[in-house]
Structure 1
């Protein structure tokens, strides 16, 4: 993880000026990319309530008991180390109001590389942009993640 003063989302900005205002509820993320970065940062900083709050009402976890979902988020934030984030591509919102962000997350669990590449979908819920769903591939399955675009990622699925 970057030094404590740097935001874990790897924007290059200090945490206090980057994701902290979103985590504290002072303002909403202005774009799907900003929300995705703030969610990665929330996982890295163990801000479980923020991760839950930024799920779209259509997300499958919203159909499950909140306590169960929170327990799973807390488990993930306690066992995984979120080391680096690279945004590879983004688009939207499209005509239906959906935005997409393709990213490479470097994540480790007890020394094991659990890094992945995800294409996330976001939509506004009337309050702010929220995470709807994501499709992942293990980063080890992709020769050159930095060369990926949304279209190239979809062709791999």
Structure 2
């Protein structure tokens, strides 16, 4: 992704100043929310290795296949807990997506949906990790 492009997490910053450095390993996320935003952006740009790297080892899957027909369109953070000096945190968010081959075949997105989740995070060794989440109704 172009560093000058708007970051997919919709922070208002360019990708190169927001989630890009986290994806590149140049710096760790400072808060649970920053990690959640960077993970959302990783889904948006298709960075499965970053997602696995930031998943806590106790809950991390052995592998991760991303759905390339799914386009993440919007992120709304509803509530957050877990600052730079905390050891755990939670982030409630709604992520909006479009997916599936619609009328006209592949490349025509037709299904719209939302993922509403409360994600849990822990900070170990100065790094935040995604542990798991509850899907909200």
Give the structure-2-normalised TM-score.
0.82
Q: What 5-or-longer segments of structure 1 have no aligned partner? A: 142-157
1:42 maps to what in 2?
42
After the TM superposition, list the runs of 4 or more consecutive aligned residues in structure 1 that deviate by more than 3 angstroms: none
- Structure 1 residue aligned with 2:104: none
Number of aligned residue pairs: 123
- Structure 2 stretches of 5 or more lacking a match? 101-109
Helix, strand or coil at the partner of 1:40: helix
Please give the alpha-carbon distance, in whole angstroms, between the structure 1 residues aligned to 2:126 and 2:69: 31
The equivalent of 1:133 in structure 2 is 132
CA distance in 1, matches of 2:60, 2:51: 14
Residue in structure 2 matched with residue 88 of structure 1 by the alignment: 78
**How large is the RMSD of aligned CA atoms in angstroms?**
1.8
Report the structure, 1 or 2, having the larger helix content. Answer: 1
Q: Shift of the alpha carbon at 1:127?
A: 4.8
- Alignment match, 1:15: 15
Give the match for residue 54 of structure 2. 54
1:56–1:125: 8 Å Cα contact kept in structure 2? no
- The DSSP-based 3-state class of the residue aligned with 1:35 is helix
